[in-house]
Amino acid sequence: MSLLFGRQSNKTIKTKKIPEGSHQHDLLKYASATLGSGNIKEAVALPNGEDPSEWIAVHTVDFFNQINMLYGTITESCTAESCTVMSAGAKYEYHWADGATVKKPIKCSAPKYIEYLMQWVQEQLDDETVFPSKIGVSFPKNFMTIAKTILKRLFRVYAHIYHAHFSDIKALAEEAHLNTSFKHFIYFIQEFNLIEKRELAPMQELIDRLVSSK
């Protein structure tokens, strides 16, 4: 499955598939089954004997796919005209830079920022030297740094959806799906300390409510 970002975009972001029969696919099935039991805290905990990098990699792919789908439902409402800057409320504005092709942060519309972001994440996930899918291939030494950057940026898409498009999500009756996905994301990044608290500030009030409600 793939989603097209914006009517005038020619860039397609594809859902990232974890190969069936792989250990990572088994981990994803285990995580989904545990999550289905309703205990999110237990669902995000590292299973006994598993590699933390592999567990984090599987969830990073899963969250990328979830956010890809959630944002895809409101792309018609998130336009360069309606969302002239990438923001999460009046106090938080994000400028894009990937450190490679765009080294100096640039100000752009929310849909353009999210297009850049999702393309960049997809490139990381597709890179076997960063996210190895074959058994026995080690994760790179800088894997955690890359994973943290990916998750920090994916959080910004959640934040933008909540601040700018929650009414659109409600109109589509998708708020339960969004809240469940975001709650899972927050429990996971807190379990492994993957995003600095200051980065979470635009959503802190909701985070406190979600985490306190079991």
pLDDT value of position 152: 97
pLDDT value of position 213: 64
The amino acid sitting at 56 is I
| Residue matched to tokens 């940026």 | 153
127: which residues sit within 8 A by CB, 6+ positions away?
A: none
**Residue 77 scores a pLDDT above 70:** yes
Compute the mean pLDDT over every residue in the chain, rounded to the nearest whole number.
87
146: which residues sit within 8 A by CB, 6+ positions away?
A: 124, 130, 140
105: helix, strand or coil: coil
Asked whether 89 and 163 are in contact (CB, 8 A), the reply is yes
Task: Return the half-sphere exposure (C-beta side, CA atoms, 13 A cut-off) of residue 200.
Answer: 19
Lowest mean pLDDT among 9-23, 45-59, 111-125: 9-23
Cβ neighbours around 98 below 10 Å, total? 16
184 annotated ligand binder = no
pLDDT value of position 19: 58
Higher-confidence residue of 4 and 174: namely 174
Give how far Cα 55 sits from Cα of 2, 39, 40, 64, 141, Å. Answer: 24, 17, 15, 14, 16
- Domain spanning 18-212: CATH superfamily: MOB kinase activator (1.20.140.30)
pLDDT value of position 18: 63
Q: What is the mean pLDDT of residues 58-66?
A: 93
Residue 15: pLDDT band (50, 70, 90) is: low
83 annotated ligand binder = yes
In angstroms, the CA 143 to CA 146 distance is 5
Residue 133: pLDDT band (50, 70, 90) is: confident
pLDDT value of position 99: 85
Lowest mean pLDDT among 3-7, 37-41, 109-113: 3-7
Two structure tokens written together for 65: 């796919």
pLDDT value of position 16: 66
Residue 114: pLDDT band (50, 70, 90) is: very high
Q: What is the mean pLDDT of residues 39-56?
A: 90
Residue 10: pLDDT band (50, 70, 90) is: very low
pLDDT value of position 7: 37
In angstroms, the CA 97 to CA 157 distance is 15
**Residue 22 scores a pLDDT above 80:** no
Q: What would the pLDDT profile of 155-214 be if each residue is shown by its tens digit?
A: 999 999 999 999 999 999 999 999 999 999 999 999 999 999 999 999 999 999 988 765
Asked whether 115 and 6 are in contact (CB, 8 A), the reply is yes
108 annotated ligand binder = no
Write out the E strands in 52-167. Answer: 86-87, 93-94
